[in-house]
Amino acid sequence: MITCDAHCHFLSAGLFRTMGAETGTRVDAAEALPAALGWDPPGETEALATRWAVELDRHTVARAMLIATVPGDEASVAAAIRAYPSRFVGAFMFNPKTPDASGRLEQAFDLGLKTVCLFPAMHRYTLDEPFVDEVFRGAARGGRAVFVHCGFLSVGLRTKLGLPSRFDLRRGDPLAVAALAVRHPDLTVVIPHFGAGFFREALMAADQAPNIVFDSSSSNSWTKFLPGLTLRDVFARAIDCVGHQRILFGTDSSFFPRGWHRAIFETQRAALSSLGHGEDVQAAIFGGNFQRVFPLPS
């Protein structure tokens, strides 16, 4: 079974320096902030890309989506893609409210990144605003994908650094994602974490818009908001509603020395195995669907 991970965060030196501006760090934040967290410093971008490639080899993971986790860090992930084009697919966090958003979007795509990641709760906009449709149109023109974070949002790095997370959770509505997705039927739209608490709404959205796919990343601790719901139930209902071909496995891996979060893989594999589905279903979720949505460069 080929394993591909649709959700890994590339915590580059650029990311930590951006966070350092928020924390008021006066020395090199790419060294100081990881040290304060007990994490390894990222080092140079190419070295971090190599570390990720070696880490994936260690766990026999064929390919992974690497996400630039702050707006403006697209070049870091682009460098990783250039170094390992057959291993990594590039994604980037994007705030469509910023000046010259359309130009920066095209620039990121020109760098070879394939997925634009929207966080409406974080950046405080609604999905029915015209500039969001512009993002969808821009992605559709080049056969890229759009990732939209919905539901509960918690950024562990911000919490650990004592930074405020003034997110407006009302903005991340999967039903609004569906309204956009149906207008762009040839565009793959990814809702991570099965909607992160808006599970019913995510299922409804995906049922209406067949170009919506889920990623299964993280511990999916949002199930605590829905008493009695287990990860096994989540997989069962998602497969029943939209089919196993529309679920991409992900871990939400991020920092070293933890590296690739194998425990997430083991937990999800156990949940799927308990449902009694054949190896073909697991092979699709854990790698085949990723390979179809993000084919290897020719």
Q: pLDDT tens digits, residue range 197-244?
A: 999 999 999 999 999 999 999 999 999 999 999 999 999 999 999 999
Counted residue by residue, the chain has a size of: 298
Per DSSP, what are the bridge partners of residue 90?
66
Spatial distance between the Cα atoms of 12 and 31, rounded to a whole number of angstroms: 11
Looking at residue 278, its pLDDT comes to 87
User: What residues of the chain score a pLDDT lower than 70?
Assistant: none
**CATH number for region 4-293:** 3.20.20.140
Alpha-helical segments (H) within the chain: 13-23, 29-37, 45-58, 74-83, 101-110, 120-123, 130-141, 156-160, 174-183, 199-208, 231-242, 262-274, 279-283, 289-293
Tally of CA atoms within 13 A in the half-sphere of 206 that contains its CB: 30
For the record, the structure tokens of 183 come out as 């207008």
Looking at residue 277, its pLDDT comes to 87
Q: ∠ CA 117-120-126 to the nearest 5 degrees? A: 130
Of 154, 158, 122, the closest CA to residue 23 belongs to: 158
Q: Which residue has the tokens 């601790």?
A: 221
**Strand runs labelled E in 49-187:** 63-68, 88-94, 115-118, 145-148
